[in-house]
Amino acid sequence: APYTLTYFAIKGRAGPLKILLADKEQQLKENVVTVQDWMKGDIRATCLFGQLPKFEDGDLVLYQSNAILRHLGRKHGAYGKNDCEASLIDMMNDAAQDLRQKYIKLIYQEYETGKEAFIKDLPNEFKPFENILAKSKTGFLVGDQISLADYNLFDLLLNLKVLSPSCLDSFPSLKSFVDKISARPKVKALLECENFKKLPINGNGKQ
Ligand code: GSH
């Protein structure tokens, strides 16, 4: 495989890039790091920012999940058809990332105390994405082809649906966005693949 991912045995921050790679029919070699091995510290010491995921494309070594996602978007035609589209894709991906960060904070820092308020506030978070998708002729966030921002938002929405199964009920455009991407044959195959399905979403067992 031309690509190697080193990460924990979770979906976590690697979900979007795995979905992109599957959809673009790219092979991925996975080095799974156990928490036990990570705790020893020698792997961490080799990581530029002391964290995973790490991604290798030949001699290129990348850290930072969104840099990896952008790299793959650039290489596999998921970064718009011109600079303006690429900038809009950056904007939407950053917005999705903001929401992902809030989700991760909830999961790892305040699940018990913050879950209810987080779910209650989701409609405010969803509105901008719903507005963009409602105006989109093709059902993608930007332009007329799928982009890295779509993969990122899609993965996040799958996670949020596990947290709150009814959260998309008042968001028809987001709901059809999820249905449409879920139905892409290679994405569907990945979501149904046992190796992917069995991965917990997060590292602490909360979801
Ligand atoms: N901004 C980084 C990215 O998006 O890749 C954050 C990476 C990150 O938070 N990694 C976590 C990690 O390595 C796992 S998802 N945790 C173990 C540690 O920090 O010791």
Ligand 1 within 6 A of CB of 51? yes
Q: What is the pLDDT of residue 203?
A: 97
- 25 in the Ramachandran plot: left (φ > 0), alpha (ψ -120 to 50) or beta? left
Q: What is the pLDDT of residue 183?
A: 98
Residue 31 CA to ligand 1 center (angstroms) comes to: 16
Return the half-sphere exposure (C-beta side, CA atoms, 13 A cut-off) of residue 41: 0
Q: Is the ipTM of this complex over 0.90?
A: yes
Q: What is the pLDDT of residue 191?
A: 98
Q: What is the pLDDT of residue 96?
A: 98
Whether this model's pTM surpasses 0.90: yes
Ligand 1 within 6 A of CB of 104? no
Neighbouring C-beta atoms of residue 152, cutoff 10 Å:
30
Residue 64 CA to ligand 1 center (angstroms) comes to: 8
What is the rounded CA–CA span in Å between residue 168 and residue 165?
8
Q: What is the pLDDT of residue 14?
A: 98
Q: Which two tokens stand for residue 77?
A: 């035609």
Q: What is the pLDDT of residue 152?
A: 98
| Weakly modelled stretches of the chain, pLDDT under 50 | none
